[in-house]
Chain A
Amino acid sequence: MSATSQVVACTQCGHQVYPARLRCPRCHGAQWTPVAVSQAVLQAWTTQRQDDGTTAHLGIVRVGEDGPHLVVRFDTPPQHAGQTVALQWRQIDGYVLPWGQCLA
């Protein structure tokens, strides 16, 4: 089951960021509310070898046309930029982090 989205919106101007910051980069508001984000668009991807010898599939996705960019992890490799990515949030080492699954 997916944990709560860590994308948040400024309660003053609605600007969305990930992760939350002390002040909104657009209006300097200090209050945030979680935003349910289920999809994003793939911008780029790569792989990196991990300490345990496995390979991590990593990507940058963007939420909407004006939303935040997120570095996400994939279980299976993406194929091309522009792919729609389903987002879920997983608890890893005490942090809630974004995981992506490329949709056809």
Chain B
Amino acid sequence: MSAAPGIIGVGETPLLRRPGPDCSTAGLLADAIDLALADAGVSAVEVDGLGVGSFTLRPDRAIDFAWRMGLGLRWCMQEEMGGASAINLLRQAWLALAAGQARTIVLVAGDHFVAADFTALVRQYNRSAQEQLTPLGSLGPNPLFAMLTQQQMRQAGLQREDYGRLCVTQRRHAAGYANAAYSQPMCLQDYLDAPMIAPPLGRLDCVPVVSGAAALVLSATPQGPSVHLRGGVAAFNLDRQESNGLSTGLASVADALWAQAGCGPQAMDVLGIYDDYPAMVLAQLQDLGVVPAGGLAAFTAQQYAGQGVPLNTAGGQLSAGQAGVGGGMHLLVEVARQLLGRAGARQLPQARLGLASGYGMVQQRYGMCANAVVLEGRQS
């Protein structure tokens, strides 16, 4: 038994490109929780804490969902900060467990979308989207990240092929994950030939919108294999949206993360980096010190060759799909799964330390939220 809190189970539903008529957000969240509880070997009656991240659960909130799930709770939290929600939930749950506010917490995130839902969400995402971007004809995040990618290409000397190598690598990983929306093989030429969405972004630079959910179970006193938080940081609107967005808030907090973790980025065995667009994966890797300045093209070539520390090993959002707020939880769940030693055919040998990041909440031009955790797997 460990005196420190730990993640003891994970679960994720299939990520559905075309969900059936009976599919609902609440149903997906419930299924993910059941999977994670089964993985943890924990009964629902033991759960006394619940954290929920979702855009489409409305009109219900976390507590309404708890009622529908038959859960009586001592700790309940709701998160709506998009790609940063999963790690926000994890950091808060960790504090709650350490403080004795709960003993067994389930964190779940996910969404159910049909195309019209997603279009409405991104066009009315916040006041800036409603009053400046959408009326101007800048619809959703694609054009904003297209322009950010163009600037990164110019600044770092990158070509479309460099981003393509990242996408192809993640698709290769998705082939080993049965829940991924897209797992069929893809080559670099497929990436280059895909239709342009907002130049330089082609269709395969943009995450497929899916319906699904992912969940974690945490215990205040884990017994058996568990995953522990070595360090966690977050940055919210630190630059007031007044930079060019090529660097995320992680650049300001990376030193603190590694100091807390007591190790450096070179010690990581697995990476789960928030991949709403390939350019943002590269930006975060540089901000976190995983890739040195000037090393982005070499990093993508290394990944493409199957070398270096494995990244987004269940396909990431770019291939497995982005289930709304569940996209960030997908990455966190996969890192935890690898560190628990339960990744099946994808299992990395001797994976002990992992890094997961979140990024999101686009304002005028780029995301305002960024966070990251360093996790350690322990077998007892």
Contact = CB atoms under 8 A, between A and B. Distances in A.
Interface of A: 19, 25, 43-48, 50, 56, 58-60, 68-69, 71-73, 81, 92-95, 97-98
Interface residues of B, number: 28
A50 B139 contact: yes
A58 B147 contact: yes
A75 to B, nearest CB: 11
A98 B142 CA distance: 19
Mostly helix, strand, loop or mixed at chain A's interface? strand
B223 interface: no
Interface in B204-257: 240, 242, 244
B345 interface: no
29 contacts: A43-B151, A44-B147, A44-B148, A44-B150, A45-B147, A46-B143, A46-B146, A46-B150, A46-B199, A47-B143, A47-B199, A48-B138, A48-B139, A48-B197, A56-B137, A56-B143, A58-B136, A58-B137, A58-B143, A59-B147, A60-B147, A68-B242, A69-B364, A69-B365, A71-B365, A93-B135, A95-B131, A95-B132, A97-B132
A46 B200 CA distance: 8
A83 B128 CA distance: 26
Nearest to A60: B147
Given A43-B147, A44-B148, A45-B150, A73 B136 contact: yes
Given A46-B198, A69-B365, A71-B365, A19 B143 contact: no
A56 B146 CA distance: 13
Q: List the 3 closest A-B pairs by CB distance, nearest first.
A: A56-B137, A44-B147, A25-B240
B196 to A, nearest CB: 8
B144 A71 contact: yes
A25, A69, A71, A72: residue with the most chain B Cβ atoms closer than 10 Å: A71
A91 B55 CA distance: 31
Nearest to A55: B137
A95 B240 contact: no
Nearest to A99: B136
Contacts of A50: 137, 139
Nearest to B199: A46
Nearest to A19: B132
Given A44-B151, A73-B137, A19 B128 contact: yes
A60 B128 CA distance: 15
B311 interface: no
A60 B198 CA distance: 14
Nearest to A98: B136
Contacts of B135: 92-95, 97
A97 B128 CA distance: 12
Nearest to B148: A44
A95 B144 CA distance: 20
B136 A92 contact: yes
A25 B240 CA distance: 6
B137 A48 contact: yes
B281 interface: no
B133 interface: yes
Contacts of B148: 44
B132 A71 contact: yes
Contacts of B146: 46, 48
Given A71-B365, A73-B136, A48 B154 contact: no
Nearest to A67: B242
A94 B150 CA distance: 31
Contacts of B132: 19, 71, 95, 97
B364 A71 contact: yes
Given A43-B151, A68-B242, A95-B131, A48 B136 contact: no
A69 B135 CA distance: 18
B80 to A, nearest CB: 20
A48 B131 CA distance: 18
A74 to B, nearest CB: 10
A50 B123 CA distance: 12
B123 to A, nearest CB: 10
